[in-house]
A and B are shown apart, each in its own frame.
Chain A
Amino acid sequence: MTTQDTTQNAPEAVTEGTATEVTATEGTVTDGTATEGTMADPGTDPAAGQQKARFGPVGWLRWFWRQLTSMRTALVLLFLLALASIPGSVLPQQGIDPAAVSQYYSEHPALAPILAKLSGFDVFGAPWFAAVYILLFTSLAGCVLPRAFRLARSARQPPPKAPRHLGRLPQATSFPSELAPARVLESAAGMLGKRRFRLRTGDGWVSAEKGYSHEIGNLLFHVALLGLLVSVALGGLFGYKGNRLLVEGDTFANTPTALDVFHPGRLVSATDLAPFSLTLRRFDATYITSGSQRGEPASFNAELSYAKQYGGPTHGYDLRVNHPLNVDGVQVFLIGHGYAPVFKVTDGSGRVVFNQPVPFIPIEQSGLTSEGVIKAPDASPEQLGFSGVFLPTEYVTPVGQLASAFPAAEQPRVSLVSYAGNLGENGGESQSVYNLDTAQMRMLDVAPRPLAPGQSITLPHGLGTLTFTGYRQWASLAITYDPGQVPALISALAALAGLVMSFLMRRRRIFVRATSDGGDRALVEVAGLTRSDAAGGFEAEFAELTQAFHEALEAGGAGARVKSKGE
C-alpha cells in the first residue's frame, strides 16, 4: 500500500552499513517499496513535515485517499460487504422471488414498508450495498495501480547489493572452499544464473533474485476482480431476461410484449431482442414410481421447434434442465412446468364463450396439485368465473379432502367453485389471469363434485355449462441474454490463476559472499531471504540450493587439486 517505509529512504546505507539485525533484515526485504506521493514524503517534499499539523483541502483529500487505500480499510470493507449481504439471504428479494415479497408484506404489514424504504427487498441493488462495494473496489484500485508501477520499476532495477553480515539473515550458512574467492563467486553466479535468478555482482559478493510471478499473480488476481465487476455491469446494461409460460401447441415470438416477465438492461430497447420464435410442441415429465422417492421428478423434456427469424426455417430442439437452447447468443432455459386443463364454457344463450387451455399453477410438488381460474367475460346474461384445483392423480384423504397422490396425470380431476356476476375487469386496472376478483360476484350453488375429462357442470338458473374437455401441459421458459457472461468467466479464471500463482510462487533472494581466508582458499557465506513464502518451502529450496552449490564447489576444488597434482 501507499505507506511509508522507515527503512526505504536509505536502503543502501542499511545494507552496506553495520545495521542491527532487525533493520538489516528489513532493509533487504523491502526493495524500494517507494511511497507514491500520497504521504508526506521527506524525500521529495522537504516542507511536508511541517504541513502535518494543518490540513488544507488537498491534505484532507490525501489523508482520505490514504485511509481508503489502507489495508485496514480494505479489511473493514470486506467485512462490511459480507455483513451487507446477509439481509439479502434472509429477506425475500424482489428480483428472485416476488411472490415471497408479497407474502412478507401480508405477514408483516407494519415492518415491510420500512424494510422496502431501506431497500431490504432489493439488497443487491441497494445504494448502501453499492456504496460498500464501490468503496472496496476503489480501495483495491488505489492499491493495485501503484503496486503495478512499483513492480514494473523494480523489474527494471538490478537486485540489491548483498548485505555485509549474511549470518544475520533468516537462512544462512557458511563453509570453507578450496577455491579462490573469485572462482567461488563465478561458480555461484553460474549456478544461480542457470536457475534463472537475476544477478548482480560486486566486490566479493553475488546477489540474486527470483520470483516476480508472485507479485504478478497477486496483481492479476485483483485486476481480474475489477474485470469481474465490469463484466457484471456489462450484463446489467446490455443484457436482458424474461420469462414465458407456454402451453403445448403454443408459439411465441421473442418480443417484450410476448414475455410474461421482462427485465431489460438499462440500455436495452425492444428492438434489441433477438427476433426468434418458438413453439412448445410437447412436454414430457417422468417421475420415480416406487420407493421412498416416489413422486420425485426423474426427467423433463420440452420438445421445441424454433425459428431464428420470424417466418424463417424451423429447427427442433429437446429442451431439458441443464440442457439450454442457444439461439444466436440468447439462451432459453426450462425452469418450470405444470398442467393446463382445457375448458369449454357455454353461456345461457348456448354460445361457446370460452374454449381453451388454462395454465394452473402448482401449489405443491409431490402431487402437483395446481390452482387456477377461468374467466368468461363474454358470457351472458351474466359474466362467469370459476376457481379451483387440478389434481393430476386424485385421491380422497381419510378426512374426506381431495388431494393428488402423484404428479403424473394418472387420474386427472378438476374441482371448481362457480361464480356469476361482474368480473370487475372494466375498472381499467389490468388483472392477473391467475386471480379471480369475486367482490361483485356470487357463488353459485353447484354440487361439489370433481370432474373427470369430458364431464360438465350445469350452472343453475340457466346460466350455462362448463365442460372439462381434457388437459395439456405447460412449460415455463427463461430467456436470457448476458453479454457480460464470457468476460465474467475470463475474469474469474484469471483471478483464480493469479491467486494460485501468488500462493505458489515466492519472491526470494540469495546472497553469496566469498572472502579469502588469508591463503588461496575462500570462506563462503550463503544467505537467503524470502519475501512471500506463503505456501512454505523456501527453507527446503535454500537447503537444496546450498547443498548443490557446496557440491559443485567441492567438485571444482577436487578438480583444482587434481590439476595441481598433475602439474
Chain B
Amino acid sequence: MINPALAQISNAALISAIMAYGLAMLAYACDFAFNKRQVAALTPASASATREKVGQAALVGAAPGSDLADHMFGAEPADISQLADLDDRSGGASGAGSGTVVQSRWPTGSWLRTAFVLTCIGLVVHVAAIVTRGLAEDRVPWGNMYEFIAAITCAAVLILTLAAVRFRAYYMGLFVLLPVVIALVVDVVVVYTPAGEVAPALQSYWIAIHVTAMIIAIGMYIFGAVTTVLYLLAARHEARVAAGRESAVAGVMAQLPGSAKLDQLAYRAILFAFPAWTFAVIAGAIWADHAWGRYWGWDPKETWSFITWLVYAAFLHARATAGWRGKRAAYIQMVGIVCLMFNLVGVNIWISGLHSYAGLPH
C-alpha cells in the first residue's frame, strides 16, 4: 500500500535537493571567480613545451607500424600514465599547471568548501528523497521514468563527490551539477509520477539488480561525458594558446587541469562504467529470460543498449589505436552518450517495445 505522507516527504526532499545543488553551483561559480589559488594560466611557452612532450609520448605509442600493436591490449595505458607524468613534470618545471596547487584531499578555500558542503547536503537530502519514496511505495523506487531520473542524477552526484575527493576533481562540481539540476527540474515539472505500484512485469527482485547497475553505469557515463566535453574544450584552448591565439575560455581553463588530466579522468570513468554497463545488460538478459522466456530478443531497449555497448567498446579500442586516441576517441565517447540518452529518452517516447512500462506517464 502507498503511504501518502512519506511520498509527500519524498517530493519535498527532492525539491530541497535541487535547491541545495543550485546553491552549490553558485558557490562553485564564485570559487572560480574569486578564489585566490588561481592556477597560472598556460603561457604559450609552457603550453608548447607540454605539447612537445606529449607529442613525444604519442610517438612512443605510435612508433611506425606499431599503431595496432595490440588489438585491445595496446600500449595505450602506458601512454596515458606517461602523458599524465609529462603534464605534471612540465607543469612543475615551468611553475605552471597544477604544480602550484596545494595538494590537499579536501577542498581548499571558503567558496569551494561551501560548494562542496552544499553538494554533500544536497546528496544526503537526494538520497533521503529516494529512500522515503521507496518506503512510501514499499518497493525499489525505480519503477518509472520519474524515479529513474531521480536515481541517475543521484548516482551522478555521488560519483562527483567521490571523484572530487579521490582525484581532487573539485573543479568538476559546477559542470556535473549543471546537467543534474536541469534533469531534476525536468523530472519534477514534466515527468513527475505520483507514488504508485508497478506492473506485474516489474515485480521481481531483478529490478534491484538490473536497474541499480544501470543507474550506476549511467551516472558514471554521464560523469565521463561531462569530463570529456571539458577535455575537448581544454584541448582546443591549449592548441589556441600554443598557436599564440586568443582563447575565449581562458578564464575557466585556468581553473581546470590540463587536457591530459581531464582525458585520464574521463577514461577512468568509462573504465568503471563499461563493466558496470556490461553487468547491467547481463542482469537484464537474465531477467528477460525469467520474465519473457528469452535472454535476448532485440527489443528496442535491448538493441539500443547493445548499440551503446558497441560504441563504448569502440571508444576503448580507439584509445588503444594510434591516430584515434585523444580528440577522435573523445568524439566516439560523445556518440556513446548520445546513444545512451536516446535509449533512455528517445526509445521510451518514439518506439514501443517490451520496456515501454518504463516510459513517461500518459
Contact = CB atoms under 8 A, between A and B. Distances in A.
Interface of A: 1, 3-7, 21-22, 25-26, 29-30, 33, 69-72, 74-75, 78-79, 81-82, 85-86, 88-90, 93, 95-96, 123-124, 139-140, 143-144, 147, 170-171, 214-215, 218, 222, 232, 241, 288, 291-293, 296-300, 320-322, 324, 331, 333, 335, 478-480, 482, 485, 488-489, 492-493, 495-496, 499-500, 502-503, 506, 529-536, 538-539
B65 A6 contact: yes
Nearest to B319: A534
Nearest to A506: B77
B81 A74 contact: no
Nearest to B61: A26
A539 B81 contact: yes
Contacts of A480: 293-294
A534 B269 CA distance: 11
Interface string B254-276: 00000000001001100100110
7 contacts: A1-B69, A4-B66, A21-B56, A78-B313, A480-B293, A485-B289, A488-B295
B59 interface: yes
Of B200, B201, B318, most A-chain CB atoms within 10 Å: B200
A206 to B, nearest CB: 21
B271 A1 contact: no
Contact of B293 (A25, A139, A170, A241): A241
A53 B312 CA distance: 38
B44 interface: no
B71 A288 contact: no
Given A324-B293, A489-B286, A503-B271, A93 B298 contact: yes
B81 A322 contact: no
A321 B200 contact: yes
A187 B301 CA distance: 58
B278 interface: yes
Contact of A496 (B279, B292, B299): B279
Given A29-B60, A321-B201, 10 more contacts: A5-B66, A6-B66, A25-B82, A71-B71, A75-B324, A82-B339, A321-B203, A322-B200, A482-B295, A539-B85
B97 to A, nearest CB: 16
Given A1-B70, A71-B321, A96-B297, A25 B81 contact: no
A69 B63 CA distance: 19
B2 interface: yes
A449 to B, nearest CB: 32
A171 B86 CA distance: 11
B30 interface: no
B199 interface: yes
Given A88-B298, A89-B347, A170-B85, A147 B63 contact: no
Given A75-B321, A322-B291, A530 B73 contact: no
A5 B69 contact: yes
B337 interface: no
B68 A22 contact: no
Interface stretch (B146-154, B178-186, B239-247, B303-311): B303-311
B314 interface: yes
Nearest to A140: B71
Contacts of A478: 292-293
Contacts, number: 214
Nearest to A539: B81
A297 B310 contact: no
B93 interface: no
Of B73, B293, B324, most A-chain CB atoms within 10 Å: B73
A333 B293 contact: yes
Of A22, A292, A495, A536, most B-chain CB atoms within 10 Å: A536
Given A93-B298, A322-B200, A499 B275 contact: yes
B282 interface: yes
Which 10 pairs across A and B sit closest by C-beta, in order of nearness? A143-B71, A71-B68, A1-B68, A322-B204, A333-B293, A89-B303, A82-B310, A78-B314, A321-B200, A480-B293
A335 B293 contact: yes
B79 to A, nearest CB: 10
A13 B64 CA distance: 18
A124 B298 contact: yes
B70 A147 contact: yes
A530 B56 contact: no
Given A22-B59, A30-B75, A300-B200, A503 B66 contact: no
Given A4-B65, A86-B307, A299 B351 contact: no
A33 B304 CA distance: 37
B317 interface: yes
Contact of B73 (A88, A147, A291, A533): A147
A433 to B, nearest CB: 24
A297 B199 contact: yes
A7 B63 contact: yes
B300 A89 contact: yes
A21 B52 CA distance: 14
Of B78, B194, B286, B317, most A-chain CB atoms within 10 Å: B78
A422 B129 CA distance: 65
Given A5-B65, A482-B294, A143 B72 contact: yes
Contacts of A535: 268, 271
Given A78-B314, A85-B303, A320 B81 contact: no
B67 interface: yes
A29 B62 CA distance: 13
Of B268, B279, B286, B293, most A-chain CB atoms within 10 Å: B293
B191 interface: no
Contacts of A4: 65-66
Contacts of B157: none
Of A147, A241, A321, most B-chain CB atoms within 10 Å: A321
Nearest to A508: B78
B293 A532 contact: no
A359 to B, nearest CB: 20
Contact of A291 (B64, B196, B206, B285): B196
Contacts of A300: 200
B60 A532 contact: no
Nearest to A499: B275
B320 interface: yes
A241 to B, nearest CB: 7
B197 interface: yes
Contacts of A536: 80-81, 264, 268
Contacts of A321: 200-201, 203, 291
Nearest to A124: B298
B37 interface: no
B290 interface: yes
A485 B290 CA distance: 11
Contact of A75 (B60, B78, B275, B317): B317
Nearest to B81: A533
A539 B295 CA distance: 42
Given A78-B313, A82-B307, A534 B290 contact: no
A139 B68 CA distance: 13
A26 B320 CA distance: 15
